[in-house]
């Protein structure tokens, strides 16, 4: 099973995988693709305070309904011998504010999705009786009912909202990975993904009735990256080969244009060393592994633009932690871009997403690469 996004310790360093012939590698400004050492470009990202979290804290995922409404979720109070708590933030167009979750007993929220003021959803870790499903009422988060609620083997890992406010959740029930689908009132589990030994970490909706999931699958000696599509039936793409590779996020512009990002833990190396960033592209026939422009670290999130094309990737560069790290799409290649300097000592990003109807983006994470005090919740914004 792949390591949790945002937790750096415990991973080992594997050998980088070279880009497949013909694939465009990310590059920093003024250098040839795939090389390191030059100063990366900056692109106007701004740090935005996310006050109120109890160290150690991090934001894992962000969902944006528009310029004046967004949600971000994660966890806080991760100090040793402390009681960990779920963390939720709300953006009102001017500032982030911490949402009161004292009426809930959850320890971590892993994902969030929303389209309007009283239609947002979040999922999190089990609290002894299966994973919770939360609904935003417009003023607070409340638990929602669904088939399997309270069952100890139910895991809800990621949530997305598609056309018609249809809600899609990936996870597992009874040991089988699959999708929970509903409209907020009626829910049903779809046919399980017919692939054994699978963990699903991310679900995205491309269009009505077409849903993509990403995660990992056992390959006997470790795990490989997994991407699959649901359009009334399951289609599992070939595994993304790797020593211990998990997919954290994906973007599907079409059946022959899918990008997947994650981390390859690899094998060997000192204990505690981070893994390698993993970037792969599906062209309808095969996966092409693409260099990330840096060799040690991770890629955590990917966001599209107004045309539906993959546009921004969030990541973490172990070899230069003074600023946040992104990859920006430029034509058929990716360019290494750095965030603002100064507001966080060594920021780690967990997610990036677009602001609908604009050219703006949000990213979220934590102020340091490990979730131990004094790490706090952290956000960045790229204005339109």
The per-residue DSSP string of 181-248 comes to EESSS-EEEPPPPS-SSEEEEEEEEEETTEEEEEEEEE-SSSEEEEEEEESSSEEEPPPB--SBEEEE
Domain range spanning residue 51?
41-382
On whether residue 81 sits in a domain, the answer given is yes
Cβ–Cβ < 8 Å for 115, 165: yes
On whether residue 8 sits in a domain, the answer given is no
pLDDT digits over 289-340, tens only? Answer: 999 999 999 999 999 999 999 999 999 999 999 999 999 999 889 999 999 9
On whether residue 304 sits in a domain, the answer given is yes
Q: What is the Cα–Cα distance from 122 to 132, expressed in whole angstroms?
A: 8
In the chain, which stretches have pLDDT less than 70? 1-43, 266-272
On whether residue 24 sits in a domain, the answer given is no
Burial call 6-19: b when 16+ CB within 10 Å, e when fewer: bebeebbbbebbeb
Confidence (pLDDT) at 290: 95
Name the domain count of the chain: 1
Confidence (pLDDT) at 208: 93
CATH number (domain holding residue 247): 2.130.10.10
Instruction: With CA atoms as reference, report the closest residue to 16 among 294, 219, 217, 239.
Output: 294
On whether residue 30 sits in a domain, the answer given is no
Burial call 103-117: b when 16+ CB within 10 Å, e when fewer: ebebbbbbbbbbbee
pLDDT digits over 182-222, tens only? Answer: 998 999 999 999 999 999 999 999 999 999 999 999 988 88
Confidence (pLDDT) at 269: 61
On whether residue 216 sits in a domain, the answer given is yes
19-23 CB contacts, 8 Å cutoff, 24+ apart: 19/288, 19/289, 19/290, 19/291, 20/286, 20/287, 20/288, 20/289, 20/290, 22/288, 23/281, 23/288, 23/289, 23/290
What is the pTM for the complete model shown? 0.89
Cα–Cα distances (Å) from 292 to 81, 297, 334, 335, 374, in that order, read: 38, 10, 8, 9, 29
Q: How many CB atoms lie within 10 A of CB 364?
A: 30
Confidence (pLDDT) at 41: 66
On whether residue 74 sits in a domain, the answer given is yes
Confidence (pLDDT) at 259: 98
On whether residue 121 sits in a domain, the answer given is yes
């Amino acid at each position: 099973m792949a390591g949790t996004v945002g937790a750096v310790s415990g991973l080992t360093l594997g050998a980088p995988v070279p880009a497949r012939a013909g694939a465009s590698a990310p590059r920093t400004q003024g250098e040839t693709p795939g090389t390191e050492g030059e100063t990366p470009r900056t692109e106007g990202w701004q740090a935005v305070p996310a006050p109120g979290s109890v160290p150690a804290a991090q934001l894992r995922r962000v969902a944006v309904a528009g310029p004046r409404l967004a949600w971000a979720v994660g966890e806080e109070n991760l100090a040793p011998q402390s009681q960990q708590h779920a963390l939720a933030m709300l953006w009102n167009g001017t500032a982030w504010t911490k949402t009161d979750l004292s009426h809930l007993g959850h320890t971590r929220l892993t994902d969030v999705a929303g389209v309007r003021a009283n239609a947002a959803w979040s999922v999190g870790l089990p609290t002894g009786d299966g994973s919770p499903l939360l609904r935003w009422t417009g003023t607070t988060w409340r638990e929602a009912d669904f088939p399997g609620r309270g069952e100890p083997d139910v895991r809800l890992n990621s949530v997305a909202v598609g056309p018609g406010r249809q809600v899609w959740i990936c996870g597992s029930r009874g040991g089988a990975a699959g999708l929970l689908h509903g409209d907020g009132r009626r829910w049903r589990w779809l046919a399980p993904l017919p692939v054994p030994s699978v963990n699903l970490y991310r679900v995205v909706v491309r269009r009505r009735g077409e849903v993509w999931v990403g995660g990992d699958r056992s390959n006997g000696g470790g795990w490989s990256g997994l991407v699959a599509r649901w359009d009334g039936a399951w289609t599992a793409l070939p595994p993304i080969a790797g020593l211990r590779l998990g997919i954290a996020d994906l973007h599907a512009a079409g059946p022959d244009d899918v990008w997947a990002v994650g981390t390859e833990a690899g094998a060997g190396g000192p204990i505690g060393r981070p893994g390698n960033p993993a970037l792969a592209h599906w062209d309808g026939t095969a996966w092409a592994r693409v260099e990330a422009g840096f060799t040690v670290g991770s890629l955590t999130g990917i966001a599209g633009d107004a045309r539906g094309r993959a546009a921004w990737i969030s990541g973490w560069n172990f070899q230069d932690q003074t600023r946040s790290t992104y990859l920006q799409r430029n034509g058929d290649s990716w360019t290494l871009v750095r965030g603002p300097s100064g507001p966080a000592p060594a920021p780690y990003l967990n997610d990036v997403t677009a602001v609908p109807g604009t050219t703006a983006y949000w990213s979220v994470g934590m102020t340091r690469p490990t979730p131990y005090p004094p790490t706090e919740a952290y956000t960045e914004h790229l204005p339109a």
